[in-house]
Structure 1
């Protein structure tokens, strides 16, 4: 899942080397934290959060096989 998130975000940012995806697994959910360069945050979130919502939709759909709920936080 981490590689999927990186693959989606990499073409959107100017500093792809600064992409960091961390995973925290809890009892009933998996939380992914996406961190990008401070100048790229707006590009990943998009106007009115549309790009962030699209990224989350793809990640959630890919995680449907898992029994745990998937969350994506963008920092």
Structure 2
């Protein structure tokens, strides 16, 4: 799941080397923190949060297939 979010964020960002994804496990829950360059935040979040919501939807599908719950926070 971490690799999925990292791949998507790097594809959207103009500074892909600044993309960092941190993962925390809390029982059956996975928390993903996405850090991007300040200039890329608008691109990664998207207009009205569309890109962020799309990434969260894909993350949800991957989490359901793995039998866990996942949350994405964009910092």
Q: TM-score, normalised by structure 2?
A: 0.92
Alpha-carbon shift at residue 66 of structure 1 (Å): 2.6
Structure 1 unaligned spans of 5+ = none
Could you say which residue in structure 2 is the equivalent of 1:3? 3
Could you say which residue in structure 2 is the equivalent of 1:39? 39
Could you say which residue in structure 2 is the equivalent of 1:22? 22
Cα distance in 1 for residues equivalent to 2:11 and 2:66:
27
- TM superposition outliers: structure 1 runs of 4+ over 3 Å: none
Cα distance in 2 for residues equivalent to 1:30 and 1:46:
23
Alpha-carbon shift at residue 31 of structure 1 (Å): 0.3
Structure 2 unaligned spans of 5+ = none
Alignment coverage as a number of residue pairs: 75
Deviates more, 1:59-68 or 1:45-54: 59-68
CA-to-partner distance for each residue in 1:15-45, whole Å, 9 max, x for gaps? 0000000001002311000000011001111
Q: TM-score, normalised by structure 1?
A: 0.92
Larger fraction in helix: 2
